[in-house]
Amino acid sequence: MRSMTATLAGRDLTLAVTFAAAQEIAQKAGDPFAIMREAQLEAMLAKVGQVYHPKWNFTVENVPQIIYSGAKAGGEKITLQEVQSLVMDAGILEAREVAIDFITMIATPSAKETLDEVEKDDAPGE
């Protein structure tokens, strides 16, 4: 199981990538793949000087929910209300970065998956 450690307001939290966490985020905040697609589209268009207003945005409500879903999957004994307090203590922008990192982790392959693909591509005769 892939996981990350995030520190919010001095508290370390383990956020784990599980299907249950991804599913909970999809139900309560937004589909992780749709979130990534919108973020990538916004970044790509910004590079060429185009303004894009994404269909999904991080908010004061969904940032704590994303972090909470990951923390719960990581075995943390914490409530959503406690995560909301940590987010406010840390600052919404700092917490948003944690949520972005976690969503990215859900939506992208692990380093081993990437390494396996590179090794397969470099195999002789293929």
Q: pLDDT by residue (tens digit) across 28-52? A: 999 999 999 998 899 899 999 999 9
Q: What are the CA-CA distances from residue 10 to residues 61, 87, 90, 114, 115 (Å)?
A: 21, 11, 8, 33, 34
Proportion of the chain in helix, strand, coil states, percent, rounded to 5: 60, 10, 30
pLDDT of residue 18: 97
pLDDT at 85 over 80: yes
pLDDT at 108 over 50: yes
The Cα 25–Cα 58 span in angstroms is 12
Q: Which long-range contacts (CB under 8 A, 24 or more apart) does 49-55 make?
A: none
pLDDT of residue 109: 83
The Cα 78–Cα 68 span in angstroms is 8
pLDDT of residue 61: 97
pLDDT of residue 7: 97
Q: CA 123, 124, 126: angle at the middle one, nearest 5?
A: 75
